[in-house]
Chains A and B, each alone.
Chain A
Amino acid sequence: MTMKLITHNMLTSNVRAANHAFPLRIEATVVERRAREFNGEFIARMIPKLEWGALVSAVGWVKPLLGRSGAGDQRMEEGVGEGGIAKSGDIAESGNIAESGDIAASGDSGEVSELVVPPEVVTDYEKDDTFLRAAHTALLEIEVLEGKLICPVTGREYPISKGIPNMLIGEDE
């Protein structure tokens, strides 16, 4: 259980040369979708604290590893492909967030409607239930269990094991 994307949105690279580089790229090998009770007020209070662009990127990085239906508890591992969904290796190289919608569309359209992250925060988001629920799904219902976080400046890798990211660095870093 955990690391959720809300945490990914808060982590910066620790190495001195990176100067708090953000966001860390996610290379996940095990991602799980776990339903959580929606609390609109919590999500609304969180929105202003988030870097929304980084959340969109994060969803793009992990989405290929989620199950076909995207509903309920689904555990997908890298290399297990299904139907028209592109392999995660292809996705990682695309690097372009805007394409994530296109990539998903090539697969099951039912999955797209389950996990769609709006490209921007909408105005009056506090009252927009659809937006808040989409944010909730992205922030709290996707869990990266295994993989790594990669510093965008230095390439330094921070492993994620059993859902816990290890941000420790050496004294010389």
Chain B
Amino acid sequence: MNCGHPTPDYSHIDRDNIYDPAEDTFLLLDSLDDEIKSICMRGFPLVAMEMGCGSGVPLAYLSNLLHRYDNNSQCLLIGVDINPIALSATRITIDKTLSLYPVEMIIDDLGISLFQRLHGIVDVLLFNPPYVSSSNNITASYESSRYLQASWDGGVDGREVIDRFLPVARQLLSSNGICYIVLEQCNRVTNFCILCEQFGFKCCVIKERKAGIERLYVVKLTI
């Protein structure tokens, strides 16, 4: 159910190095449309983070939704990515929305540098991970840049990065916080949800959509 809010302008992104928003991105935006009220009813988020922010479109869209929901409150937006080109682009994407929120960008692998200090502080955590299943034998002979490959290549069952993310998410998420993750069928969603529960999350699939050859899911995690 898309309320029809405009997609943030991401025309400036370098598509050779940054994942070009696609159906998975838009499914996440649609989820945020549906969820914004639930998110804010738990208390206006103090900190919202997108892990692997890429183009910054989901984080920017969340910023828009938060502004629309309550224009007097403020939220700290944090973008984390291993790709500095993505972070520069994310900042521009958010700037173009005229967001008034403080925005911070950090080059890091799954936000490990924030792990300790942001323990239990992140109220909204977004992750559209590299979820494509690939053999570990894919090497640099592949034509796309290493950044672009890192944006989609999830290794075995597409789960390698997602599974590393789970303990980080568990650490970062506040008691009222919500984490949204995009998955694809190859990630063995049921198995993933069991793993989430083992990490102490409550887990539910809030969206499912067929997009070309992919079947996409958005999973919602709370503590």
A interface list, Cβ under 8 A from B: 1-4, 6-7, 9-14, 20, 22, 36-37, 39, 41-42, 45-46, 49, 51, 140, 161-168
Does B109 have its Cβ within 8 Å of any Cβ on chain A? yes
Interface set of B (CB-CB < 8 Å, partner A): 46, 72-76, 78, 82, 84, 87-88, 91, 100, 102-109, 112-118, 121
Q: Name the one of A14, A42, A140, A162 contacting B88, with C-beta atoms under 8 angstroms.
A: A162
Nearest CB in chain B: distance from A6 CB, A:
7
Is A11 a contact of B82 with CB atoms below 8 Å? no
* Interface pair B88/A168, CB less than 8 Å apart: no
Set B75, B87, B105, B116: member contacting A12, Cβ < 8 A: B116
Q: Are B107 and A165 in contact (CB under 8 A)?
A: yes
B203 shortest CB reach to chain A, Å: 26
How far apart sit A52 and B221, CA to CA, in the bound complex (Å)? 31
Given contacts A10-B117, A11-B114, A51-B117, contact A167 B107 (CB under 8 A): yes
Bound: A162/B113 CA distance, A? 19
Query: Which chain A residues border B75 with CB–CB below 8 Å?
Result: 42
Contact flag A14-B108 (CB < 8 Å), given A42-B74, A51-B117 = yes
B108 touches A164 (CB 8 A): no
Please tell me if the beta carbons of B76 and A6 are within 8 angstroms of each other in the complex: yes
Q: Name the contact of B105 in the complex, choosing from A42, A45, A140, A163 (C-beta under 8 A).
A: A163
The one of B76, B84, B112, B116 that contacts A164, using a Cβ cutoff of 8 Å: B84
CB-CB under 8 A from B91, the residues of chain A are 1-2
- Expressed in whole angstroms, the minimum distance between the Cβ of B169 and any Cβ of chain A is 16
A sample of 28 cross-chain residue pairs with beta-carbon separation below 8 angstroms, ordered by A number, consists of: A1-B91, A2-B91, A4-B102, A6-B76, A10-B118, A11-B106, A11-B117, A12-B113, A12-B117, A14-B108, A14-B113, A20-B115, A36-B102, A37-B100, A39-B74, A42-B75, A45-B46, A49-B121, A51-B117, A140-B102, A161-B84, A164-B84, A164-B88, A164-B106, A165-B107, A166-B84, A167-B106, A168-B107
Q: Is B73 a contact of A167 with CB atoms below 8 Å?
A: no
Closest to A54 in B: B117
**Residue of A whose beta carbon sits closest to that of B90:** A164
Which of A20, A22, A39, A166 has a CB less than 8 Å from the CB of B107?
A166
A2-B112 CB under 8 A given contacts A10-B117, A164-B88, A166-B84: no
The reply to whether A20 and B108 form a contact with Cβ atoms under 8 Å apart is no
Known: A41-B73, A164-B105, A166-B107. A11 touches B113 (CB 8 A): yes
> 7 new A-B pairs (CB below 8 Å) besides A42-B46, A166-B84?
A9-B117, A12-B114, A13-B113, A22-B117, A42-B76, A140-B102, A168-B109
Tell me which of A10, A14, A22, A49 contacts B112 (CB under 8 A). Answer: A14
Q: A11-B117, A45-B46 are in contact. Are A165 and B102 (CB under 8 A)?
A: no
Closest 5 CB pairs of A and B: A42-B74, A167-B113, A167-B108, A39-B74, A20-B116
Among B78, B108, B109, B113, the most chain A Cβ lie within 10 Å of the Cβ of B113
Closest to A41 in B: B73
Q: Which residues of A contact B115 (CB under 8 A)?
A: 12, 20
